[in-house]
Amino acid sequence: MFVERENFELLRGELAHFDRTAASGNRARCYFCPNCSNRIYHENPDNNAVLRVKPGTLDNTGIIQPEMHVWTSSAQSWVSLPEDIPCHETQPSMAELLGNN
């Protein structure tokens, strides 16, 4: 879930992080809870204006309305995806993610 950094607020605790290189070659900084290791969000350290928040970490997941599904190639065989939402087997381009295609 994309969130502009200026609209993101961590309500409590402090996060740890590690850096990795994505399959695309882009760098990613992954922030996680140091107690349980759940990832909270990722950012591109070269362009951190937009965060990729893990929506399952929200207090109220009922507000989430999916606009697309990504990495469907790794979905479990029992997962049923809605047919009216775009699906991408791997990581779509940033333009596709932001609807600028």
Check: CB of residue 99 under 8 Å from CB of residue 2: no
Asked whether residue 48 falls in the same domain as residue 15, the answer is yes
Asked whether residue 1 falls in the same domain as residue 38, the answer is yes
- For 73-97, the pLDDT digits (tens) are 988 999 888 888 888 888 777 677 7
Asked whether residue 26 falls in the same domain as residue 50, the answer is yes
Asked whether residue 38 falls in the same domain as residue 84, the answer is no
pLDDT confidence bin for 38, thresholds 50/70/90: very high
**pTM listed for this prediction:** 0.72
Is residue 19 pLDDT above 90, yes or no?
yes
Asked whether residue 20 falls in the same domain as residue 69, the answer is no
Asked whether residue 50 falls in the same domain as residue 91, the answer is no
Asked whether residue 7 falls in the same domain as residue 34, the answer is yes
Asked whether residue 14 falls in the same domain as residue 52, the answer is yes
CA 77 to CA 80: how far, in whole Å? 8
Asked whether residue 2 falls in the same domain as residue 45, the answer is yes
Q: How many domains does the chain have?
A: 2
Q: Name the more confident of 32 and 98.
A: 32
Non-local (6+) Cβ contacts of 30 within 8 A are: 17, 18, 19, 20, 39, 42
Asked whether residue 78 falls in the same domain as residue 50, the answer is no
Asked whether residue 5 falls in the same domain as residue 32, the answer is yes
Domain around 80: 65-101
Average pLDDT over residues 46-70: 85
Asked whether residue 6 falls in the same domain as residue 38, the answer is yes
